[in-house]
C-alpha cells in the first residue's frame, strides 16, 4: 500500500507552485498572435468566474466495480464537477495490468510513481501558459491510464465529464502512458446544462507514447451555454509510435483548444483531426502545433467546421520542422463552411522549416454553401433544409470517416446526431 499522505503532500506542492506561476503570468490579450482573434475581456472576463486555489486532502475513494457489460468498452470512468465518482473496468483488461484510476486518490504505488514522473512536468508544465498554470493549480481530480508493455486494449476506455454547478471553475487532468508496443483508445465526453452565470471547464491532457506504442484519443465537447471550455493537450511521441487525436467542439459559449504534438524520434507519427459546428453567438478558437524534432517523422492535421448564426471560429496552426529533422512529412488543412451571412472564420496556417529535405504543405478555405449543389438537390425533390443538411453532414463526415469505425462507431453516431440536432434548430 502506498503512503497516501506523502503522495497528497507532493500533489499539493505541485499545485502551490502552479498557483504562483498563474499569478505571475499575464492574462493573454489580442496583442498576442496566439490570441489574436479571441478577446477574453469581451467574451469571457475571468473576474466573473470564481477561482479558488485550495489544497486538496480528500481521501475518499470513488466507487469501483467490475464492468459487467463490456461490449465496445474496456472501461468507464465518471467525473462530476471535476471529481472521479465511479470507475468500471473489464476484469479481462484489469488482469492484463492495465491501469484506470483517479489521479488524486489512487492507492497504487506504481501509478503514484508514474504520476510523479509525468504529471505537470516534462509533458505539460504550468509554465506553458496562463491557463495551463491555472489548471495545474486548481485541478481537483483526473484520470490516469497506464498500459503495460505489449498490451493491446482492443476496445476503447470511455470517460464522461458532467458539470452540475455554475459560476465556478472546474479543472481536471488526464494522463495517458502507453509503454513500448502497447495500444489504447480513450474517448472522453463533456456534457452539462446551460448556465446563466459564467462558468469555466478546464481540461489538461498529457499523452506519452513510448516506442512502437499507439494511442487514440477522442474528446467530444457538448457543454451548455454560459461556459468557457478551455483545453490544453500535449503528446510526446517516441520512436515508431503513433498518437491520433480527434477533438469535436459543439457546445459551450467559448471554446479554446491548445493542441501540441511533439515527434521526438524517427518513425513517430501523428494524425490530428478536428470537427466543430457553431451557431448563434458561439466562438471556437483552435491553436495547434506539430513539432518534428527527429528525421523520418510524419504528421497530418485536418480540422473542418460549419458555422451558422453569428458564430465565429479561429484557427491558428503551425508546423515546425526542426534542424536535422530530414525527410519529415507534415500536412495541415483547415476548412470552414459558412451557413449564414453573419458567421465568420479566420484561418492562419503556418510553416517553420529548418531542414531542406522535407515534404510539407498547408492550406485553408472558408466558403459558403455551393449554390449549384443546392440547386441540384432541390431539383431532385429535396427541400432546402434537407439539401443543406446533406451538404453539411457530407462536409463534416470527411473527418469522421478517418476514425477506425469498429471501436468508434458509437462516437460517429453521437456526433452525427448532435450535428443534426443543431441543423434542425438552426
Question: What DSSP line would sit under 181-227, residue for residue?
Answer: T-EEEEEEEEEE---SS-EEEEEEEEEEE-TT-EEEEEEEEEPPTTE
User: Rounded CA gap, 42 and 310, in Å?
Assistant: 15
Looking at 173-177, 328-332, 369-373, which range is the least confident one?
369-373
Q: By C-alpha distance, which of 51, 40, 18 is closest to 133?
A: 18
Q: By C-alpha distance, which of 56, 47, 53 is closest to 22?
A: 53
What's the whole-number mean pLDDT along residues 344-362?
Answer: 92
What cell does 107 get? 492507492
* pLDDT of 254 over the 80 cut: yes
With 0-12 / 13-18 / 19 or more C-beta atoms within 10 angstroms meaning exposed / middle / buried, residue 123 is buried
Q: Quick one: pLDDT at residue 382? A: 79
**Which residues face 79 on adjacent strands?**
84, 161
* pLDDT of 291 over the 90 cut: yes
**Which residues face 363 on adjacent strands?**
333
Task: Quick: pLDDT tens for 212-238.
Answer: 999 999 999 999 999 999 999 999 999
What three-state secondary structure class fits 384? helix
Q: By C-alpha distance, which of 353, 357, 389 is closest to 374?
A: 389
The DSSP symbol for 400 reads H
Task: Quick: pLDDT tens for 189-213.
Answer: 999 998 887 889 999 999 999 999 9
Name the residue ranges covered by the structural domains of the chain.
Answer: 4-368
Task: Quick: pLDDT tens for 266-288.
Answer: 999 999 999 999 999 999 999 99
Percentage of residues in the chain having pLDDT higher than 90: 68
**This prediction's pTM:** 0.94
What cell does 390 get? 446533406
Cβ-contact 362, 317 below 8 angstroms: yes
Q: By C-alpha distance, which of 180, 232, 234 is closest to 207?
A: 234
Higher per-residue confidence, 361 vs 407: 361
What cell does 293 get? 524534432
| Torsion angles phi and psi, residue 326, rounded to 5 | -70, 155
Cβ-contact 230, 197 below 8 angstroms: no
With 0-12 / 13-18 / 19 or more C-beta atoms within 10 angstroms meaning exposed / middle / buried, residue 68 is exposed
Higher per-residue confidence, 175 vs 396: 175
What separation in angstroms does the CA of 92 have from each of 88, 99, 215, 366, 379? Answer: 12, 12, 20, 48, 55
Indicate the pLDDT class of residue 54, thresholds 50, 70 and 90. low
User: Rounded CA gap, 237 and 296, in Å?
Assistant: 13
Higher per-residue confidence, 185 vs 403: 185
Amino acid at each position: 500500500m502506498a503512503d497516501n499522505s506523502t503522495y497528497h503532500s507532493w500533489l499539493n506542492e505541485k499545485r502551490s507552485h502552479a498557483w504562483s506561476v498563474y499569478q505571475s503570468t499575464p492574462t493573454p490579450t489580442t496583442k498576442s498572435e496566439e490570441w489574436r482573434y479571441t478577446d477574453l475581456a469581451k467574451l469571457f472576463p475571468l473576474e466573473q468566474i470564481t477561482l479558488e486555489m485550495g489544497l486538496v486532502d480528500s481521501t475518499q475513494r470513488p466507487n469501483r466495480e467490475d464492468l459487467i457489460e463490456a461490449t465496445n468498452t474496456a472501461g468507464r470512468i465518471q467525473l462530476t464537477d471535476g471529481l472521479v465518482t465511479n470507475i468500471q473496468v473489464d476484469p479481462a483488461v484489469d488482469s492484463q495490468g492495465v491501469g484506470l484510476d483517479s489521479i488524486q486518490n489512487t492507492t497504487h504505488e506504481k501509478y503514484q510513481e508514474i504520476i510523479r514522473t509525468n504529471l505537470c512536468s516534462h509533458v505539460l508544465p504550468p509554465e506553458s501558459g496562463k491557463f495551463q498554470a491555472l489548471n495545474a493549480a486548481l485541478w481537483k481530480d483526473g484520470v490516469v491510464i497506464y498500459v503495460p508493455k505489449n498490451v493491446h486494449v482492443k476496445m476503447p476506455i470511455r470517460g464522461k465529464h458532467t458539470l452540475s454547478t455554475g459560476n465556478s471553475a472546474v479543472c481536471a487532468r488526464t494522463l495517458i502512458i502507453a509503454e513500448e508496443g502497447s495500444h489504447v483508445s480513450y474517448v472522453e465526453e463533456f456534457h452539462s446544462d446551460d448556465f446563466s452565470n459564467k462558468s469555466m471547464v478546464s481540461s489538461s491532457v498529457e499523452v506519452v507514447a513510448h516506442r512502437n506504442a499507439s494511442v487514440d484519443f477522442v474528446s467530444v465537447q457538448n457543454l451548455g451555454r454560459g461556459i468557457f471550455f478551455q483545453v490544453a493537450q500535449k503528446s510526446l511521441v517516441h520512436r515508431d509510435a503513433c498518437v491520433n487525436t480527434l477533438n469535436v467542439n459543439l457546445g459551450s459559449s467559448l471554446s479554446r483548444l491548445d493542441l501540441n504534438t511533439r515527434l521526438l524520434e524517427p518513425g513517430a507519427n501523428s494524425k490530428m483531426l478536428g470537427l466543430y459546428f457553431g451557431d448563434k453567438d458561439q466562438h471556437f478558437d483552435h491553436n495547434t502545433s506539430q513539432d518534428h524534432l527527429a528525421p523520418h517523422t510524419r504528421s497530418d492535421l485536418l480540422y473542418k467546421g460549419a458555422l451558422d448564426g453569428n458564430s465565429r471560429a479561429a484557427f491558428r496552426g503551425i508546423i515546425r520542422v526542426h534542424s536535422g529533422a530530414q525527410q519529415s512529412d507534415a500536412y495541415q488543412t483547415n476548412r470552414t463552411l459558412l451557413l449564414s451571412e453573419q458567421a465568420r472564420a479566420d484561418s492562419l496556417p503556418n510553416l517553420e522549416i529548418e531542414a531542406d529535405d522535407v515534404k510539407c504543405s498547408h492550406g485553408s478555405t472558408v466558403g459558403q454553401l455551393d449554390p449549384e449543389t443546392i440547386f441540384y438537390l432541390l431539383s431532385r425533390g429535396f427541400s432546402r433544409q434537407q439539401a443543406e443538411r446533406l451538404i453539411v453532414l457530407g462536409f463534416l463526415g470527411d473527418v469522421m470517416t478517418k476514425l477506425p469505425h469498429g471501436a468508434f462507431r458509437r462516437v460517429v453516431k453521437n456526433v452525427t446526431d448532435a450535428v443534426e440536432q443543431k441543423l434542425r434548430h438552426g
